[in-house]
Chains A and B, each alone.
Chain A
Amino acid sequence: MMSVEPLQTALSCIRTLRSNVGVAFEALGNGIRSDHGEEGKETKFLFELQDLLTVVNNNLRDVEQSINNLQPPHNPFNLGNSGFLSHEYAQDRQALYSQLVQSYKWTDKVHEYCSLAHAQLSQNSLTRSYTNTSSAKRRKIQTSSHNVLPIHVDKVINQIERLLPEMNVNIQRPFASNVILHVSVGRVLKAIIAFKGLLIEWIIVRGFSESLDLWTESRFKVFRKVTENAHAAVMRFYMPTMPDVSVKNFLTWLHSFNTLFSDACKGCGLHLRNAMPPTWREFRTLEPYHEECKP
């Protein structure tokens, strides 16, 4: 195995050379500038150019020197079958090699992240996704809730949207298979919901004027409270055997927040309590209550 150090030096020499050539050409491209002053500006410019070219010359010498220090490898690198790629002459296929290296790096990274994620997730016993080791149990849940065809997910969500007049739903799939749902309810709130198949994994509720992302809470206290209640509702409506019903019930519940600011509390009859509107909706009746008034 040859040592890596001379190779590194050579590479950094080449980088310096490239950068200084760039500087020289930029100065040449800019031409005479106002900081050359009036008197003898041409000669000053020429001197500057000469200095820059000297630097380039020196860099070139360094590169040559560092290349001389390199030892050619004794035996060819063992690249497996990918080694034959260099025998390919067709121009449009040559790009394969760098893509191959890229995808190798990528798979390596995925492998690393997966093992880290697995270690993290297996410690959390409250998760509703599959990390159970018992294979029989896992298969049963998988078939019902998180392993659903994308077409089926779209169908279920679109059907629910049609039932809820004030709700606007936008389906996105940033990572290929699982749905991130952007929901807006009237002109009151927006929510972002992460699905795994048809299982609701995460939800953030924010104001209608705010932008949506999965990790930032709302600026407003009222929407932070609604987010909290939505998490409770996700748990409440969770039905492993009938995932589409659970999604439908949850979205209907969320839809009832269309009147978040205009409904008075069923318990005390007032709009405000501790300067907050009724942020709780009864799960079955969808009646509004203050946090403090709920039955």
Chain B
Amino acid sequence: MGVTIVQHYPMTENRTGPQVIEFLTKRVHAMGAAQAGPFLVDCETYNSAPAFGPPRTVHLLNNSEQPATVFSILESGQKQVPLVSDPLFMDLMKKLGSVYTCKQQTRMEAKGPRFEVADFLVKLGTVTMNANFKGVLVEVEYRPCLVPAACWELLREFMQGFLGTCVPNQPPSYLQNRMQDIYQPLDTIQQYLDQFREYRKAVTVR
């Protein structure tokens, strides 16, 4: 799996979500992109019962790029523990129902079309929380390269080319400490989770 950047695309006053997606689709097509199916990333959040010691949160995320894997991220105080596992782990979480409960209204989802441009993979995601529109996330993956430090400049040039000035000159904060490491699917999930947190905090569309 190549280095991936998940980028928030700010909404403007006079455009709706589908309009933004359509606008970006046109731009991606102009770069010679071919559509390659849909994608979906979703996140369910479980909270520990108040009687069960200090509060803990478990996020369960799926990415359609890794359909047979569940990524779980446990937050306990300042500590974060990730777990990569088979999908049956979701069934186990249900068995812990008396301690950890899932709030349906915080279910987040990013889904939309997926494009290939040479070795790049571009995904235009509509973000919804419990079926309410929250904003637009753009994911760009450069598949041949495994080390973020080696291709950040190249990715930035690519993204600024079709997203404009909303792309910062610095890599996402999560990646900044991991620029020399080999990129893992979990790193994409962490970026999505960081973005989903921002969307949850936001009162209106971002």
Contacts and interface: CB of A to CB of B under 8 A. Distances in A.
Interface of A: 186-188, 207-209, 219-223, 259, 261-262, 264, 270-272, 274-277
Nearest to B143: A220
Given A187-B150, A221-B118, A222-B119, A272 B158 contact: yes
B145 interface: yes
A187 B157 contact: no
A282 B182 CA distance: 29
Contact of B118 (A186, A188, A259, A276): A276
B120 A222 contact: no
Contacts of B1: 209
Contacts of B158: 271-272, 275
Interface of B: 1, 31-32, 117-120, 142-147, 149-151, 153-154, 157-158, 161, 182
Nearest to A278: B154
Contact of B151 (A220, A221, A262): A262
17 contacts: A186-B150, A187-B146, A187-B147, A187-B150, A187-B182, A188-B147, A221-B119, A223-B144, A259-B150, A261-B144, A262-B150, A262-B153, A262-B154, A270-B157, A271-B153, A275-B117, A275-B118
A186 B158 CA distance: 23
Contacts of A262: 149-151, 153-154
B169 to A, nearest CB: 14
A261 B120 contact: no
B32 A271 contact: no
Contacts of B150: 186-188, 259, 261-262
Given A187-B182, A272-B157, A275-B32, A220 B119 contact: yes
Most chain B beta carbons < 10 A, residue from A208, A261, A277: A261
Contacts of B31: 275
A293 to B, nearest CB: 15
Contact of A272 (B32, B149, B161, B182): B161
Contacts of A209: 1, 146
A186 B149 CA distance: 13
Nearest to B157: A271
Nearest to A277: B154
Contacts of B143: 207, 219-220
Nearest to B117: A275
A262 B180 CA distance: 13
Contacts of B142: 261
Contacts of A207: 143-144, 146
B102 to A, nearest CB: 35
Contacts of A272: 154, 157-158, 161
B171 to A, nearest CB: 13
A222 B145 CA distance: 10
A262 B150 CA distance: 5
Nearest to B144: A220
Given A272-B161, A274-B118, A275-B118, A208 B154 contact: no
